[in-house]
Amino acid sequence: MGSLEAERTTVGLAARDPSGILSPYTYNLRNTGPDDVYIKVHYCGVCHSDLHQIKNDLGMSNYPMVPGHEVVGEVLEVGSNVSRFRVGELVGVGLLVGCCKNCQPCQQDIENYCSKKIWSYNDVYVDGKPTQGGFAETMIVEQKFVVKIPEGLAPEQVAPLLCAGVTVYSPLVHFGLKESGLRGGILGLGGVGHMGVKIAKALGHHVTVISSSDKKKQEALEHLGADQYLVSSDATAMQEAADSLDYIIDTVPVGHPLEPYLSLLKLDGKLILMGVINTPLQFVSPMVMLGRKSITGSFIGSMKETEEMLEFWKEKGLSSMIEMVNMDYINKAFERLEKNDVRYRFVVDVKGSKLVDQ
């Protein structure tokens, strides 16, 4: 189908200032271009980075801002060059909606490391207009940044995979941590952390959850299937666990000391940072040198890795632990997310909510 002549409008929930309060907002969407997919949003996950953005924690927020980057929806229309997607199919959109296509990362199909990547919201698209995210009725996205949802996966379950799931899957693949029998640590048991436990267990790893209190111990061991639970303030237990882990996925999105966790790593162990933190982190260099340990980071995943991860999720029969909410609950959901009061990912039922701009 070709493009429609007039620009469309859609309604989303936008933050207008750093208070982060979301309210209905009507805005224009571009026409469906030759490479575009026009999507009716069904579900959208709520990520901790959405909270950073709506509150301008990183000092880079532009308003009005419609957040949301774990989007599952239905194809309404496709551009003339689009053959991979058909009207009526379920598709997903993650954190990115554009890249330069020419740089080394783009040429290697790791466009998530392109220095000119375009975020799905709080960014400027190639047409000079602001990008807006998935807490909205509809979106238009270039086909390269759209993934098919494998048949048999519940769409609301898929939403958190499009950021949290691939964020964990990508470094495990890249750093050669897929083999069975490895011992991994998951630091922080939120949206990304719970994905980490599920994916690492599905790879056949021995998984230790590391948390600041024993509040989530029962959930980690009984509901998520972790093998061990460490409270980071328990000096004796931490000492006993020294030199025991091949890797730690550090999902904590606020400043925290690294040394207690570096001590848990074996020789050549990796501490992989995933949390968006706007304050410097500290460690003393012998903690790294004396065990040839690495502190590294990883950022979401590529489109190819996203597709691979969705197939892996289906093949292993995994499920996300989510709490479904309507659009009118979104401000309360963000309040609760800030207090870490969610098990383990909010997913907004956009399709089942009424959005009216007053």
| pLDDT recorded at residue 13 | 98
Neighbours of 306 (CB within 10 A): 25
**Domain 9-163+301-349, CATH 3.90.180.10 — does that match?**
yes
Question: Residue 358's pLDDT is what?
Answer: 57
Residues 6+ apart with CB under 8 A from 225: 197, 198, 201, 207
Every domain range in the chain assigned CATH 3.40.50.720: 165-297
In angstroms, the CA 11 to CA 137 distance is 6
Contact 247, 177 (CB under 8 A): yes
pLDDT in tens for each of the 358 residues of the chain? 444 456 799 999 999 999 999 999 999 999 999 999 999 999 999 998 999 999 999 899 999 999 999 999 999 999 999 999 999 999 999 999 999 999 999 999 999 999 999 999 999 999 999 999 999 999 999 999 999 999 999 999 999 999 999 999 999 999 999 999 999 999 999 889 999 999 999 999 999 999 999 999 999 999 999 999 999 999 999 999 999 999 999 999 889 999 999 999 999 999 999 988 889 999 999 999 999 999 999 999 999 999 999 999 999 999 999 999 999 999 999 999 999 898 889 999 999 998 766 5
What's the CATH number of domain 165-297, 3.40.50.300, 3.40.720.10, 3.40.50.720, 3.30.2130.10?
3.40.50.720
pLDDT of residue 354: 82
Number of C-alpha atoms within 13 angstroms, CB side, residue 304?
9
Cα–Cα distance, 163 to 192 (Å, whole number): 8
Predicted local confidence at residue 340, as pLDDT: 86
For residue range 209-266, list pLDDT tens digits in order: 999 999 999 999 999 999 999 999 999 999 999 999 999 999 998 899 999 999 999 9
SS3 content of the chain, % helix, strand, coil (to 5): 25, 30, 45
Per-residue pLDDT at 6: 61
Taking the CB of residue 206, how many other CB atoms lie within 10 A of it?
18
Rg of the chain over Cα atoms, rounded to whole angstroms, equals 20
Nearest to 69 by CA among 112, 123, 133, 10: 133
* Alpha-carbon span 323 to 348, nearest angstrom: 8
Report pLDDT digits (tens) over 41-56: 999 999 989 999 999 9
* DSSP states along 181-206: T-EEEEE--SHHHHHHHHHHHHTT-E
CATH 3.90.180.10 segments of the chain: 9-163+301-349
Distance from C-alpha of 137 to C-alpha of 340, rounded to nearest angstrom: 27
d(CA 112, CA 324): 28
